[in-house]
Structure 1
Amino acid sequence: MSALVIGHITVKDADQWAQYRARVPATLAPFGAELVFRGQRGRLLAGTHAHADTVVIRFPDLASVDRWYDSPAYQALLPLRQAAADIDLVSFSE
C-alpha cells in the first residue's frame, strides 16, 4: 500500500529554501519516492490554513517514508529546512 507525505510550508528565507529544494530529490530517490505535487495555495474554501505552499510526495509504503525521514542524507538537511521555512509534515497511507 503506497504512502504519501504532505508538507504545508511557509517560506522564511527564499534563498535557503531554494537550496533545500534542490537537495531533497537526491534523498528521495533511494526510497522509490516521487514528487506528486508542489504548488501554492489558491483560495481557502473552508476552515483555517496558515501555510502558503504545499508539497505531496508518494512513497511505496510507510516504512519507506520512515527510512527516508530518518536517513542520514535527509537528517543532514534539517537545519537548512528549519532555517528556510516553517513546515508541517505528515505521512498518510493510502
Structure 2
Amino acid sequence: MKQPTESPRACVIGHITVRDAEKWAEYRRQVPATLSAWGGELVFRGRKISVMSGEHAHAETVVLQFPDARSLDGWFQSPAYQALIPLREQAADVVLIGYES
C-alpha cells in the first residue's frame, strides 16, 4: 500500500533594515495575528552580530514557518497581511524569500 506523501514545509526568511523603529514595532506587533489562520509560526527573530563570509547588508532576520507552500502563499496574499504591507514599507527595507524544507 502506498503511503501518502506529505507536502514539504515552507519557510519565509526576511532580511530587514529598519528605518523607523516606532513604525517597525507597530508592524511587528500586528503580524502574529495574520499567521494563525495559515498555520504559520515565528521560528526565529534576531539581529546580525557578524558576517562570516560574503556580504549581507541587512541588520535583522526573521524566519516564519508554514505547513506547506500553499499556506505560505495564502498568508502572504491574505487581506490581513496585505493590509500591513504599506506600514512595513514605511518602516523598513525588507526582502522576503520563500523556501520549501
Bin for the TM-score computed over the shorter chain: over 0.9
| Residues in 1 aligned to 2:40 and 2:9: alpha-carbon distance in whole angstroms | 10
Unaligned runs of 5+ in 1: none
Provide Cα deviations, 1:43-84, integer angstroms capped at 9, x if missing partner: 100111000000000000011010000000000000000000
TM-score by length of 2: 0.92
Specify the alignment match of 1:44 in structure 2. Answer: 51
| Aligned: 1:83 with 2:83 | no
Decide which structure has the larger Cα Rg and report it: 2
| Residues in 2 aligned to 1:57 and 1:42: alpha-carbon distance in whole angstroms | 20
Pick aligned residue for 1:23 from 30, 55, 58: 30
Specify the alignment match of 1:74 in structure 2. Answer: 81
4+ aligned runs moved over 2 Å, structure 1: none
Amino acid of the residue matched to residue 56 of structure 1? V
Once superposed, what is the RMSD of the aligned Cα atoms? 0.4
| Residues in 2 aligned to 1:52 and 1:7: alpha-carbon distance in whole angstroms | 11
Pick aligned residue for 1:6 from 5, 13, 33: 13
Percent of pairs identical after alignment? Answer: 57
